[in-house]
Structure 1
């Protein structure tokens, strides 16, 4: 069957396709197979119109209906094929990437941001090709009239700031993709690149039997800002720039993750094929006839002056492009001349990149998004065109609060100057040029859960509590952190993994995890899974003050939590206390009392606490002993101490005046080592001459200092 639906006039899904279909159960297998073939053919055609020709002929909603129907047919009748468009929505996870040889070297390109270096490149090209320079011309500059034997024609294209890949087609079918790697070998990313919708799984037109092409995977700027907006709103760190985002996405071991991210690709070179071409421009023209997307800004230049003008136009237009560029690639157009020029071990002699100046300090606000923190605080964040500030690429900047937004008068589209406070936190210093209307209006509803926003002076807070997904993620992170119940084995990356896979959607879900759930996750072994489950089980009877701190009640830190636990003795008593009773507690004023009352007055928060109790979590009332018996000492703990969790041991010494740190240094007084201690900490202790104590030695030290050992198990 033809790969170009325009050659199939009987295909009903090409022009004005229907979007209502008869039930699949009413179809015969033969009818379903025929409809699936027509849908694949039509979807390939519509993909080409959308991605390659940028001229779609059907609305997105209609396309989605056709795609969903194809998925339904393939699933019901087991009709999926290797090159079906539905294969571009994910696949089996990988354990690791294999390394593969490229069919031809993927070389680097020499580059410079100085025009004099570009003229030198042109001079070298002419000299190597035997084109003589006329008398009286400077060797530092070239022009059309400078050469007696004529000038060299150049092919110019943007130098994309993305990730280079090699893609191979055999008999018109997608076969393999690899990253550039060292130029001769790269990572096999076939499964991930398959998910990029602008890369066809089957070529169209009069394609060669074998084709290896080079492309640049990138994330469009609009899509990058939209994706960063989603990440910020749900409490994740945004990507620094589109290139880093694209590179990280291509290296995901789970192709389904890659499929969710907005990758795109421009093709710009033929590495090997059964076709013969005479020029780079001919190659460029052939690519879209095979269904491969190219960049529309590629152009011929009569000489090096025209090529430099091409780069200068890119500088002027870069802010209007929907992709990041960092230069103009200037290639000798004639392929026979390219062969004569050859290459060094790392770069061709027939190509040069004239780089664009870096954006520094001034940039454009592309979006303003409101981030919701763990306590519900709403923080406005400006998403920017990536800009270099003091040697660091910045793609976002804080706007602090609604008052600052109004004072700056900042809006989406404005050109702004960025500063970094203490070389760490970037912020918008001033609006240089207005590009929007008025200023950004702070929302009255939470952008994540649509709960009402309340203001406390210049600060804004979401009233959704644990019902707000953004607060929930941060709440889970806090619950397991050292400031909460100190559940080891759940760092940010692993917790993100549990949340993204749907295993943890609330705090109580942590206690529903099973070995089978964890064993199927990438990076988890039986030992790490068992350690986590044992840790969760051991923390089912936390001290009341630790549990109160872990809940993340606004304004309630460890000290206030301890005061509440001492005063009320039980969780039920704290939950039942009114504001007047709460204010009778040391460290609790009107603001803290109101926050505590509002937290425990929330039906959703009470449901979470009840669900925890149903899973066996029951906070224990304790008489918390404190002293300065260990004042001035610094401890580090490693391994499993019989009778203590690491968090309990750390908290014990801290209650008696000591410091507990995570790494051994010259300031460490004791390393306390239990079973299966970390080798690096023991090595550090030996190097720093730090005494190492086992459990018995630790308790003997406590007893010598007058610390009751029984307090350790409290």
Structure 2
């Protein structure tokens, strides 16, 4: 019996540790918060009943970690603990009873929205942002100050009568509108979309380049003040004071003096949350008096004076009408469930993504199943399960297709990939149209008014079969063209090229000839070559011809260019049709080269450098720029080809060890300056 209980405890610990890792490190949650909390509750009860199996490393004794090796870790001045979760009014009543029993008086609470983002702790010294640290394991977190400084709602300096040093905590989140735009861009680039805004916010905050973080549209709400000399002893008053200093403090909170008021606030936001421009997943209830907070204290994991109420994801049951398959620009096949229309979270849901063959298999879907649908992250509809009790015993099982639904080419599933692909990138209509849509998009050649409907029309009429034919269009071929188009609500109308719309499109096409080379290269849609990689390639190969003739070794020698990108570029330019396309685009007058930057000197000619760590007088990017402007080459990793490792503070020990092993000369910042000046 004891052995069975120990095995059960060990299994729960292993499972919870795995899901903690998925949630905080990989940003890929595989179960709901409710399921996680139920497992945690079961583990805690078993550990209480059987103290002989106590383990200090049990997940019940620690806060889930989002630590990353890419950032310096900082110890929190005040532990950053998680909140206990509740899911019904009875558990809220139990919380209230515990508080009143401990304090022995009527309690004033503050009810706040529970933002579905990633927690942040900001330290201000003398009115300036000194440090931004993630929650991490509660004791220490990642220093993401440079990335947080790109978030416009976080003040770099404040005004008013504030303490010399204090900490303010809150949540970094991605507004729904920005989340949708981000996923559209990722899909356009052939990248996997984020599952929900929380994952997107967390992933964005951990990006290595703050310039890329700045483009993500992150926002930040702050909701708790800590320090030695706080303005008042009342939490809600401190929030309003912090608002006057310049912080973005939520307005959606309420002071409640009874369970009835708390439950009313929860009930209101359970419905109203769908009208917010961002995601919330519950309500936080806090004791308002900070002296009472201190009196109530903390458990090892959570404050005793606060608790969160988690909303259950809204769910609806409807009929699965069919499964269709969409073909993307890269040939990726996405199965889509077509549903009987059903109301869910304030919108009518007709379709839900099934993602890939594995998901279909896991759900065990059959034709005409009754299925339960919820909105993952409250935005993306997904099927969570089928009602097998309502299934017709004769209903055939849904099987993933073997051939492309558009061109009948046998599908492939690359090793290590979850998705299937159509390999017929030269003739599959959706792939051809997707390439055109990508080429004319904003981050590529940015042809105004050239949307999906225009692409469909020109492709169907046989006027544009590849991107070079865009530049053959004339007023006479466009003017008067028309087709029936359908919007998202399946309303039909006729689109016709009038004189004005024809002139606008031709003007946009002509203007695209002045778009810079990196944008054009990105527009070609080479696999793994996103907008940032395109800029790196253009910087190192200032003409398309030089890039086309680059070898694998030439490519991987460039910082930020790995084997996948190198192989993809080689494959693209070894294809005769692609080479002919590039020739035709050159003849249209598109910008497919940039002026080669003049070198300050050639003293580093033939030398290769690896720059690592932090420096006093230069940033890493500045050092790399100096190396290149003096004829040197930057490498991403130490190898036999490396001439020097320029090592600053906090240089990775593996780089130092490898340099010593390969007899690569290690120099510091002073040595580098001497090398440059001599």
TM-score using structure 2 length:
0.48
TM-score using structure 1 length:
0.46
**Which structure has the larger Rg over C-alpha atoms?**
1
